[in-house]
Amino acid sequence: MPYGKRQKGRLILKEKFCLDLNLNDLTCWCEERGIPKYRASQIYNWLSSGCVTTDEMTNVPKKVRAMLEEDFIFGGFTLLQHLVSELDGTEKFVFALHDGNIIETVAMRYKTGISVCISSQAGCKMGCAFCASAKIGFGRDLSAGELLAQVSVTQKMLGERVRSVVIMGIGEPFDNYNNVLGFIKLANDPEGLNLGARHITLSTCGLVPKIEEFTKEGLQVNLAVSLHAPNDELRKKLMPVAKAYSIEQLMNACREYTKATGRRITFEYSLFAGVNDTPACASELVKLLKGGLYHVNLIAANKVPGTVFTSASPAKVKQFRDILESGGINATVRREMGSDIMAACGQLRRGTIEGRS
């Protein structure tokens, strides 16, 4: 049975969040519970449109709603904060989950449509020196349904269809591999959110074995890799993951991903003043990426309180980009979204948790 475990003939489902269910799961559940099959589609439609309570399921009998609540986890996604940037319309949502863990989701407005940046974990174990999430520690992995709910609930709140999703919020997606894969499959479902793999971007700090495993899945998901340094020595100072996997191993895995999928990889490179913004770093990066199906996103990062890192000056950012481009490397400077509402990864969640304690 895909949606729960059997124990003495009784289904034990209570640990399953409602949005972890696909249509097939719900159809099986209806059969088990003696409920007409067509109810499964009705319930699935409600869940896909961002319902995390049964109250809104007005075309589903109260008795069936009570059975659903008996068997699955409903609720959570209580909105704790909602901030809207006056600069660019970026909206940031801080949610409390059903067990009290806190996550954040960011909706960004582009000319092409709305892109939602979702969290994959409550907290993060990766310990990047420049990151607000790393300072708070790790809560737990999010389920596939909890990743999906960030998109569907946000879509419902905005009243507009989400065009793309980036798994680039709090957490390392490949440290929650199975649930992230489950999310991609749920999001792809034409009966549900119907979001194509090419509209999903997964950002990793560089867990090499997981990149290799993901390559074998044969998905058309866009991959973004947080690089932030052109050599192991500097990268180790910024990202503990670099102590486990060298840049050479990382680049081999990336090359294989581009070969297998034909998709271009984006390397994220946050420019920190006096740390990794020198012309020498830029030249080294040119050598590293030359000839690959790659793109570099230069980020003049938001200042993260509690860290020693400050953003590189606009002149340094321009100089860095010019060196990349003259070396034949495609590079863009990422627009800083929502800088007035602490939109950098994990900042608002950290503020909310610290404000509560």
Q: Interface residues with ligand SF4 (CB under 6 A)?
A: 124, 126-128, 131, 133-134, 170-172, 205, 345
* Shortest separation between residue 233's beta carbon and ligand SF4, angstroms: 19
Q: Which is nearer to ligand SF4, 170 or 224 (CB)?
A: 170
- Report CA-CA distances (Å) from 355 to 69, 220, 348, 349: 32, 40, 10, 10
- The runs of H, that is alpha helices, within 16-143 are 23-33, 38-48, 62-71, 132-136
The token pair at 9 is 């003939």
**Per annotation, catalytic residue among 30, 91, 104, 268:** 104
The yes-or-no answer on residue 15 being catalytic is: no
Q: Which is nearer to ligand SF4, 18 or 224 (CB)?
A: 224
Q: Which is nearer to ligand SF4, 71 or 175 (CB)?
A: 175
Q: Which is nearer to ligand SF4, 131 or 271 (CB)?
A: 131
The yes-or-no answer on residue 268 being catalytic is: no
Q: Which is nearer to ligand SF4, 187 or 344 (CB)?
A: 344
**Per annotation, catalytic residue among 18, 30, 281, 345:** 345
Q: Are 225 and 203 in contact (CB under 8 A)?
A: yes
Q: Are 98 and 113 in contact (CB under 8 A)?
A: no
* Shortest separation between residue 335's beta carbon and ligand SF4, angstroms: 19
Closest-CA residue to 186 (of 54, 56, 2): 2
Report which DSSP code applies to 17: B
Q: Are 225 and 254 in contact (CB under 8 A)?
A: yes
* Shortest separation between residue 280's beta carbon and ligand SF4, angstroms: 24
Q: Which is nearer to ligand SF4, 22 or 222 (CB)?
A: 222
- Report CA-CA distances (Å) from 299 to 80, 100, 258: 28, 32, 23
**b/e code 71-82 from CB counts within 10 Å (16+ = b):** bbbbebbeebbe
Residue keyed to tokens 């790393």 = 134
Q: Which is nearer to ligand SF4, 54 or 347 (CB)?
A: 347
* Shortest separation between residue 241's beta carbon and ligand SF4, angstroms: 7
* Shortest separation between residue 351's beta carbon and ligand SF4, angstroms: 15
* Shortest separation between residue 75's beta carbon and ligand SF4, angstroms: 26
Beta bridge partners of 106: 92, 117
**Secondary structure (3-state) at 32:** helix
E strands, the chain, where?
5-7, 10-12, 78-84, 91-96, 102-110, 113-117, 121-123, 138-141, 162-167, 200-204, 222-226, 265-270, 294-299, 331-334
Residue keyed to tokens 């475990």 = 5
* Shortest separation between residue 157's beta carbon and ligand SF4, angstroms: 24
Q: Would you please indicate which residues are annotated as catalytic (active-site) residues? A: 104, 345
